[in-house]
Amino acid sequence: MSESLEKRSMVKLPPPWLTLLCLALFGFGELAGAVLGGLPQPIMAAAQAEALTHPDVHGLSGVADIDRTILEGIGSEVLARVHTFHLHSHGLALVVFLLSFIVVNAGFTDRVKRVLTAALCAGLAYPFGWLTMALAVPVLGKSGAFRLAERWFFIPFGGGFLAAVWALIAAYAVYQWRARRA
């Protein structure tokens, strides 16, 4: 077998910097899972205490029996957003790694590979929107926290990631179509 044929058939790994970013995001997801598993009550208590300093945002009345239900809901919402961060961190780290693996092994030009790989990395920032929500719910309320996360994470990074995935699908389809015609 010729050396050039061997090189063409070798499987390539994504760039080391991308692998490191994926591993770091996976690690943050693991950390969030560990925090959820070991400290749910302190997280809820801290969220409730912070929410008490913003009574107007949450519609707190100052009556303990009435406010208790609202505060429990705030604590539960914070835990749910940390859990969502945990899941999205794991999922997107793996998906970005896998998609970048496809990019580097497809027959794209180096420029297309660089652009697609960089664009896919947008997905690695998306989960931090959920963590932002977890931190912002006690201060801004659920809808205010969602608007903040949407503006800074979900739309730019989630949208960028979706665009990158569809660009990869289109590029791969064109590549396959050209390969079949050749």
Residue 124 DSSP symbol: G
Tell me which residue range forms the domain holding 157.
14-174
**Of 116, 123, 115, residue with least CA distance to 153:** 123
Contact in structure between 29 and 89 (CB atoms under 8 Å): yes
Residue 25, domain member (yes or no)? yes
Pull the structure tokens for residue 70: 């609202």
In tens, the pLDDT along 41-81 reads: 999 999 999 999 999 999 999 999 889 999 999 999 999 99
Residue 26, domain member (yes or no)? yes
Residue 46, domain member (yes or no)? yes
Counted domains in the chain: 1
In tens, the pLDDT along 139-159 reads: 999 999 999 999 999 999 999
pLDDT value of position 10: 86
Residue 4 φ then ψ, to 5°: -65, -35
Please determine, for residue 1, whether its predicted confidence score (pLDDT) is greater than 50. Answer: no
Residue 2, domain member (yes or no)? no
User: Which residues are within 8 A (CB) of 163 and not within 5 positions of it... i.e. 6 or more apart?
Assistant: 119
Residue 119, domain member (yes or no)? yes
In tens, the pLDDT along 12-33 reads: 999 999 999 999 999 999 999 9
Cα–chain-centroid distance for residue 128?
Answer: 6
Residue 49, domain member (yes or no)? yes
